[in-house]
Amino acid sequence: MRRPTDPTRSGRQLAARRLLAVTEEELQRIVLDIHDGPVQTLFAVLGRLTSLQARLGDASPELAAELDRATRQLESALADIRNLLGVFRSPLFTQRDLARVLEDVVAQHEDVTGQTVLFECPSSLPPVSLAVRIALYRVLQEALANAFRHAKVPEVQVVVRNTRRSIQLEVADKGPGFVPPPLEGPQATEDAAHIGLRGMRERVLLVGGSFSLESAPGQGTRIRVEVPVRA
């Protein structure tokens, strides 16, 4: 028997999906605005401080030391802002197709961690919405980060497959494994320590997909995600 779909629920899901895409686009815009606006101004201020330092010469060692401190603080604040912006500057989703987006995540992960990712992915995947690309991007990033931080193995396997209707993503490691917390139902964990796992699942569910986590001590860990092409 087929159950009729609940219109309020699917309406809510649709709204949430739209919100997800808009939020990410907004984020990209804010990142660019910060980069092009206040960051440039701070650089100009840094330039002025440096030239003041030069003009001051040996005239006042006290003032020179104070200026030096201010310059260093400003430099360190700028470095922090750049790092934060870098973290948020996810690939330009609007311009890249899903296969490239996932490939970039893998390449970046290998670069940063030295872990080898065995990556299997069709060279082209069906076009998907921005929300789906974002969901898969975030899931892959988190699953790889977990494989590095927790599994601590030299190799991780990532497999992407597709049918005409759906895209599957699998991330597997042969690390120590763990007893997964309940992620759904009345016992579902609300523990802040599981925010990464919960986040992956929620992202996928929001685009109408499914998420599963298989792990056990001594058995490694496998994450499987399936999302509809038309979400």
Ligand X SMILES: Nc1ncnc2c1ncn2[C@@H]1O[C@H](COP(=O)(O)OP(=O)(O)O)[C@@H](O)[C@H]1O
Question: Which residue ranges make up the site for ligand X (CB under 6 A)?
Answer: 146-147, 149-151, 173, 175-178, 193-197, 221
Closest CA to 109 of 73, 74, 76, 148: 148
Binding to Mg ion, residues 127-166 (CB under 5 A): 146
Q: Does 221 engage in binding with Mg ion (CB under 5 A)?
A: no
User: How many residues of this chain interact with Mg ion, rule: CB under 5 A?
Assistant: 2
Rank residues 29 and 149 by Cβ distance to ligand X and give the closer one. Answer: 149
φ, ψ for residue 96, nearest 5 deg: -110, 140
Instruction: From the list Mg ion, ligand X, none, pick the one residue 166 interacts with, judged by a Cβ distance below 5 to 8 Å according to partner type.
Output: none
Q: Does 90 engage in binding with Mg ion (CB under 5 A)?
A: no
Q: Does 196 engage in binding with Mg ion (CB under 5 A)?
A: yes
Q: Is 201 exposed, middle or buried (0-12, 13-18, 19+ CB in 10 A)?
A: buried
Instruction: From the list ligand X, Mg ion, none, pick the one residue 173 interacts with, judged by a Cβ distance below 5 to 8 Å according to partner type.
Output: ligand X
The residue nearest Mg ion at its CB is: 196
The residues binding Mg ion (CB under 5 A) are 146, 196
